């Protein structure tokens, strides 16, 4: 709920909470839930006649909010592991359901069943059956466990042969909870979680050869929206997609990832390495009223790739081998060369 109040004759805005405390740029603390964060920013921007971006929104996720998110993850862990072990052991879909039942009660930001089902339908259309899945934003592992189970089903395998989900999670606390739940679901050989910024983990996996050029079938974006576009472009720079790869992104419409949406709707980088076709699909409602923006997923399909992947890879390696103190003008020149060479 958004409330307008007047303090010393100046309009201020407060809103109700789902998780955490966020400190606004005008210096008072207000509790914010995902659905109201954009309204608050817009309201503050109007009062201050200032433009705020989504970066500010996500940049506003303060330590207190992270702690609340982690506290809920710990509570989930305690709840699930308080049950007899055979309740969930080796049953991925039961684990996903248990996580999401708890998440509904405690208003946790997991990827809920209706969206998992809509995504499954999209993933099932990929030919040949997808084997490699990367996920940005693992949290407690609800979606990662679902992806692991779906990939095994589509490949008719109970084992981990060649079927991998790589999920990236910023917080070590959340990643620890996810790791235990993935193991409980019996998917520890299929679903691999990496702590730290997703971009760093992705680069490391590529350098180690675990992710290969044209080797990613599906990418799922569910971390902070300000990272959607740079992380998609990193996937492009590494040449990870192939024709027919899909990119699924949550929350693009609300709270919103406008730069990302504009980019994919325009088909990708001007003269760039991949061309996309994209649509936002509405999912069944288990969060928010029908027609609410909460229900939309953005789906991109790679419909074109360039023939310069070797150039791109070499330029990427040169660019990233430049020392951090390298004069920025030279780096800027390299970036320009990289763009025009695409």
- Residues forming the site for ligand SAM (CB under 6 A): 109-111, 137-140, 142-143, 168-171, 174, 197-198, 222-224, 227
All residues at 6 or more sequence positions from 164 whose CB lies less than 8 Å from its CB, including other chains = 131, 132, 133, 151, 190, 191, 192, 210
Q: Shortest Cβ distance from residue 286 to ligand SAM (Å)?
A: 13
Residue nearer to ligand SAM on the CB measure, 115 or 342: 115
Which residue's CB is nearer to ligand SAM, number 138 or number 176? 138
For 50, which DSSP code? -
Shortest CB 72 distance to ligand SAM, Å: 10
Residue closest to ligand SAM (Cβ):
137
Handedness of CA 239, 240, 245, 250 (dihedral sign): negative
**Minimum separation from the CB atom of position 155 to ligand SAM (A):** 22
Backbone φ and ψ of 252, nearest 5°: -70, -30
CA 69 to each of CA 91, 107, 129, 239, 260: distance values in angstroms, whole numbers, following the listed order = 25, 10, 34, 33, 25
Find, among 42, 110, 44, 36, the residue nearest to 73 by Cα: 110
Residue closer to ligand SAM by CB (options 220, 274) is 220
Of 224 and 241, the one with the shorter C-beta distance to ligand SAM is: 224
Q: How far is the CB of 298 from ligand SAM (least distance, A)?
A: 15
Closer residue to ligand SAM in complex, CB, 15/198: 198
Least distance (Å) from ligand SAM to the CB of residue 163? 19
Q: How far apart are the first and last CA of the chain?
A: 47
């Amino acid at each position: 709920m958004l409330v307008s109040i007047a303090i010393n004759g100046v309009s201020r805005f407060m809103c109700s909470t789902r998780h955490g405390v966020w400190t606004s740029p005008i210096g008072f603390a207000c509790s914010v839930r995902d659905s109201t964060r954009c309204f608050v920013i817009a309201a503050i921007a109007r009062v201050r006649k200032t433009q705020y971006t989504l970066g500010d929104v996500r940049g506003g996720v303060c330590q207190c909010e992270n702690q609340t998110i982690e506290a809920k993850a710990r509570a989930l862990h305690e709840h699930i592991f308080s049950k007899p072990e055979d309740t969930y052991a080796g049953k991925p879909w039961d684990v996903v359901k248990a996580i999401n039942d708890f998440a509904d009660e405690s208003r946790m930001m997991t990827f809920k069943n209706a969206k998992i089902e809509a995504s499954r339908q999209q993933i099932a259309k990929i030919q040949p059956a997808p084997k490699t899945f990367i996920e940005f934003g693992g949290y407690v592992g609800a979606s990662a466990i679902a992806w692991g189970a779906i990939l095994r089903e589509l490949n008719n395998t109970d084992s981990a042969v060649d079927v991998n989900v790589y999920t990236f999670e910023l917080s070590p606390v959340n990643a620890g909870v996810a790791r235990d739940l993935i193991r409980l679901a019996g998917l520890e050989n299929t679903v691999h979680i990496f702590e730290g910024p997703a971009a760093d983990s992705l680069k490391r996996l590529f350098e180690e050869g675990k992710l290969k050029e044209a080797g990613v079938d599906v990418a799922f974006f569910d971390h902070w929206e300000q990272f959607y576009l740079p992380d998609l472009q990193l996937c492009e720079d590494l040449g990870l997609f192939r024709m027919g790869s899909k990119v699924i992104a949550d929350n693009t419409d609300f709270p919103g990832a406008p730069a990302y949406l504009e980019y994919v709707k325009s088909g990708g980088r001007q003269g760039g390495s991949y061309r996309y076709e994209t649509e936002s699909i509405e999912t069944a409602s288990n969060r928010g009223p029908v027609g609410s923006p909460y229900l939309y997923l953005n789906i991109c399909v790679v419909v074109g790739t360039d023939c310069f992947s070797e150039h791109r890879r070499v330029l990427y390696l040169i660019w990233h081998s430049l020392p951090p103190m390298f004069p920025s003008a030279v780096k800027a020149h390299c970036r320009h060369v990289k763009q025009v060479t695409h």
